[in-house]
């Protein structure tokens, strides 16, 4: 493929492609209404849950995971309310491996149950206090009940990466034989690395025939990378939450995960999901939990498509793919080239001159750029400041006083006050 036709969202360094890879065949289990409720600031009213559920459904996620109906009376009622919306997404609820929880969840009318129990020595000793045989026996009872009700069932270990691998695989093998739709692995404390994830998922893929769901916490900053490594090695489903909210530092953010998958297979992601909806969803959730969307947030952050350095700006203006792996237009976003600072370049200034319809030559643009740099050593200029300066310079050209105008300005405040 000629260089001009290369997909700019793809790296030219090709990673080995495994026959196990599901990078172009994955499903999102969106857990804002379950994991997200565990975020420190989170409190979602029924109305807000419905708003979030509808927005995520419009975005196109395949599953919505809700807080266990056993958590509270309102949680039970909220499950029923969201089930009653008739959304395209399948509705799941996350429950303990316990018959009472399972029965209550089935009553709500959900499409499936995500069953979980701790398997690491830490959780077996300090949480539920049960041994592996008890876990297998209880899982068998709960899974058979759910399947008997005709619902989807996922069985997941908790704290998978600190669990004994032999215990873990024996458990997964047992539940796979029972016919679960998915088994789940959970990096509950965020300790895993992508290499460790790849190894466990590959091993698990050789043990079970069902789908594999992955749940990664972000305590050490690897959640999205771990999700991607999991898909590369045979996982099929990934848990996300809007803005990554959840217990402690949360899990893969929906936007960050989408950005990663877009870079892997842009056309697949564009076809599956309503990408321009992402900003609206994030604003809804950010407002609901009382936080701002971070300045460096994937895709929608203030700085995500802002370009500043002169050499970057010149290239971006010539071809945006030079410094953008994601196309802002695909997400309903726009790029911004900042020019009122000491790092600005004359190409960026010239672009603004053209936008304003001013008849400045390249030489004029370079002269004004030098003035902007000098003024910006005192403080950055706003776009209004830059526009005033450019217009004053352009108007003064009629009387041949444009050089004198520049020479008369020594501080940014002189422009602001005009």
Q: Tell me if residue 94 is catalytic.
A: no
234 Ramachandran zone, left/alpha/beta (phi>0; psi -120 to 50): left
Cβ neighbours for 185, distance < 8 A, ≥ 6 positions apart: 156, 157, 160, 161, 200, 201, 204, 212, 213, 214, 215, 230, 235
The one catalytic residue among 98, 128, 268, 312: 312
Phi, psi of 377 (to 5 degrees): -70, -20
Residues annotated as part of the active site: 312
């Amino acid at each position: 493929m000629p260089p001009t036709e290369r997909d700019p969202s793809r790296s030219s360094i090709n990673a080995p492609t495994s026959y196990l890879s599901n990078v172009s065949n994955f499903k999102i289990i969106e857990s804002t209404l379950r994991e997200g409720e565990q975020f420190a600031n989170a409190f979602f009213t029924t109305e807000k849950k419905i708003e979030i559920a509808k927005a995520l459904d419009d975005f196109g996620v395949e599953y919505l995971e809700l807080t266990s109906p056993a958590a509270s009376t309102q949680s039970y009622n909220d499950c029923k309310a969201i089930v009653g919306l008739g959304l395209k997404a399948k509705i799941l609820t996350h429950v303990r491996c316990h018959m009472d929880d399972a029965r209550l969840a089935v009553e709500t009318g959900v499409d499936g149950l995500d069953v979980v129990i701790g398997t690491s020595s830490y959780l077996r000793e300090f949480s539920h206090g049960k041994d592996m045989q008890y876990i297998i026996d209880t899982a068998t009872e709960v899974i058979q009940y759910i399947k008997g009700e005709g619902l989807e069932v996922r069985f997941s270990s908790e704290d998978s990466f600190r669990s004994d691998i032999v215990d873990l695989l024996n458990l997964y093998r047992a539940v796979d034989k029972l016919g679960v739709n998915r088994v789940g692995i959970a990096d509950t404390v965020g300790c895993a690395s992508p290499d460790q994830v790849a190894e466990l998922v590959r091993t698990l893929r050789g043990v079970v025939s069902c789908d594999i769901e992955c749940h990664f916490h972000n305590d050490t900053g690897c959640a999205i990378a771990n999700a991607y490594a999991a898909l590369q090695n045979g996982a099929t489903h990934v848990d996300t939450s809007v803005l990554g909210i959840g217990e402690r530092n949360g899990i893969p953010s929906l936007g960050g995960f989408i950005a990663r998958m877009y870079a892997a297979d842009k056309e697949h992601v564009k076809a599956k999901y309503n990408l321009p909806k992402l900003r609206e969803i994030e604003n809804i959730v950010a407002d609901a939990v009382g936080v701002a969307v971070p300045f460096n947030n994937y895709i929608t952050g203030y700085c995500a498509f802002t370009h500043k350095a002169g050499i970057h700006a010149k290239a971006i203006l010539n071809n945006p793919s030079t410094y953008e792996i994601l196309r802002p237009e695909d997400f309903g976003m726009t790029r911004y080239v900042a020019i009122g600072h000491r790092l600005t370049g004359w190409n960026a200034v010239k672009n603004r001159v053209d936008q304003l319809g001013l008849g400045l030559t390249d030489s004029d643009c370079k002269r004004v750029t030098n003035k902007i740099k000098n003024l910006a050593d005192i403080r950055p200029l706003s776009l209004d400041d830059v526009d005033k300066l450019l217009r004053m310079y352009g108007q003064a050209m009629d009387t041949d006083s444009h050089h004198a105008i520049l020479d008369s300005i020594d501080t940014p405040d002189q422009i602001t006050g005009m």
